Amino acid sequence: MNYRELGNTGLLVSAVGFGGVPINRVEPDRATATLLRAFELGINFVDSARSYGDSEDKIGLALQQYEASDDIIVATKARALDADTMRTKIDRSLAALQTDHIHIYQLHDLREGQLEKVTAPGGALQALDRARQQGKISHIGLSGHHPEALIPAMRSGLFETVQMPLNVIDYPLFADNIPIATELSLGIVVMKPLCGGLMESPERALRFVLSHPVSTAIPGMDCPEQVEENAAVGCEQIQLSDKDRSKLKDEARRLGKDFCRRCGYCQRCPAGLRIPDIFRFERYHSSYFMQDWAKEQYAGLESDVTSCIECGECEKMCPYDLPVREKLQQAHQHLRG
């Protein structure tokens, strides 16, 4: 495994890290096996969040079973604007991870207009600073899906790492953020490197990301086989051929920009809709010529789009500002039979 500097934190992180979203939907034994395989293959950076279901709990369980757990760099994050909320979430993360120390705690999903709130007296940054002084965390980072919100936060000097999407689709949006973060010696953690699992070749997609001056890419993984495939790329001397670049451009054109990245933020649907899965089935139906399979999977869901109560919560949570309700209706038309 190749290792890279995480900005000025003094930490060396594996070029391919572990994205902790998908393990929240698998059984604990499988999650543990997946994480332990990652550790065995040299992956030493694990990312989670308070909002990722029981992801932190499962990471904590795996770390208890790994003899060299002190070598694993754990990053997690929480959405909070005020100090009291952030303080509570930090303590809950520590309990879930079964530890008294977290290497990197990130302000999660920072949006425009929020930096002033989190840095004001009584804001979330106050709790993060206090937790660092107490030794509960070592480094403060931030994550976000909106490039215009990240830039002033990066320039503030208050954060040591930045987590942002980077893939062949989203690259034009974040192309300006990378040199800024590099100039400021911020550790760059890349989420969504595989476009939510939609890329034809995970290897090629990871090579694209790692050909940039980033610290680590964190594809989500939920089985040992995925770990082995992705970790292999982290062991390479990264080169992207002209053929690879051409294929990536073709994929970008095919996928477009108006698609679900399966970040999972909309999964707290009051009607119980499995929104990312519905969009995944629709993608297989429309792009991969698997109509029968997609319709069968959709028919097997406990709740389909007819259960939608039009509350709009999904659109409030979507970091990509997708017209989720409209897209759900379109998916239903394709998948209902």
Span 149-174, pLDDT tens digits: 999 999 999 999 999 999 988 888 88
- pLDDT, residue 171, reads 86
- The residue range of the domain holding 311 is 265-335
Q: What is the CATH number of the domain that holds 34?
A: 3.20.20.100
147 and 235 belong to one structural domain: yes
176 and 272 belong to one structural domain: no
Over residues 97-113, the pLDDT tens digits come to 999 999 999 999 998 89
Q: What angle is formed at CA 253 by the lines to CA 248 and CA 313, rounded to 5 degrees?
A: 105
201 and 309 belong to one structural domain: no
The CA distance from 295 to 301, in Å, is 10
185 and 328 belong to one structural domain: no
- pLDDT, residue 288, reads 54
242 and 270 belong to one structural domain: no
Could you tell me the strand order of the sheet in which 73-78 lies? 18-19, 45-47, 73-78, 102-107, 137-143, 161-165, 187-191, 216-217
- Residue 115 within a domain: yes
- pLDDT, residue 185, reads 97
Over residues 190-233, the pLDDT tens digits come to 998 998 777 788 999 999 999 999 999 999 999 999 999 999 99
330 and 276 belong to one structural domain: yes
The CA distance from 164 to 168, in Å, is 13
230 and 125 belong to one structural domain: yes
- Residue 58 within a domain: yes
Find the length of the chain: 337
11 and 80 belong to one structural domain: yes
CB-based contact 6:215 (threshold 8 Å): yes
Domain boundary among 204, 220, 248: 248
Return the DSSP state at 16. B
Over residues 179-200, the pLDDT tens digits come to 999 999 999 999 989 987 777 8
- Outline where the chain has alpha helix (H): 28-40, 55-65, 83-97, 115-119, 124-133, 147-155, 171-174, 177-183, 202-210, 224-234, 242-255, 275-287, 291-299, 313-317, 324-335
The CA distance from 177 to 214, in Å, is 11
